[in-house]
Amino acid sequence: MSKTLDFLEINTDGGSRGNPGPAAIGVVAKSQGLVIFTLSEKIGENTNNVAEYTAVLRALEKIEEDKIFTEKIRFVLDSELIVKQITGLYKVKQPHLQVLRKQIIDLIKKLRDTGQIKLMSFVNVLRDRNKEADRLVNEALDS
């Protein structure tokens, strides 16, 4: 599949029951109100922060795999910490999270270099504005 979109909004969420505990991710990617893809999967025993990072990483991998091209992409997360760490406003102290952040930054660079994405932003919203991604996390955890 190869798609070209003007704008792609991706809501991501990650969660664990216990911290660490059983963890999962949820991703909903939409363009002009249409769902382009969703992801909902367990990621083993992990922390909330690992799950949040993994959701963003999996979404970027899906964009690469499906050869989705977009002028503008906006990631929407309900974790202010992760948004500020990914965008470089906050330092990432834990080595395992530094590895995940580097994978995200490297993949963003690769997608930009190949022309798959041009403009990108990360925004933080209140949890109630991220319900679809949260629902997918819980569906994966409950399955």
* CA 80/CA 77 separation, integer angstroms: 7
Residues of the chain short of pLDDT 70, as ranges, are 1
According to DSSP, the β-strands at 21-31 and 3-16 are antiparallel
Residue 43 three-state SS: strand
The domain limits of the chain are 3-142
CA 55-42-13 angle, 5° bins: 30
pLDDT at 88: 96
Count of alpha carbons within 13 Å of 5, Cβ hemisphere only?
27
**What is the maximum span of the chain, computed from C-alpha positions, in angstroms?**
40
Give me the percent of the chain exceeding a pLDDT of 70. Answer: 99
- Statement: 3-142 belongs to CATH 3.30.420.10: yes
pLDDT digit string, tens, across residues 29-54: 999 999 999 999 999 999 999 999 99
Residue 5 three-state SS: strand
Nearest to 24 by CA among 61, 52, 2, 57: 52
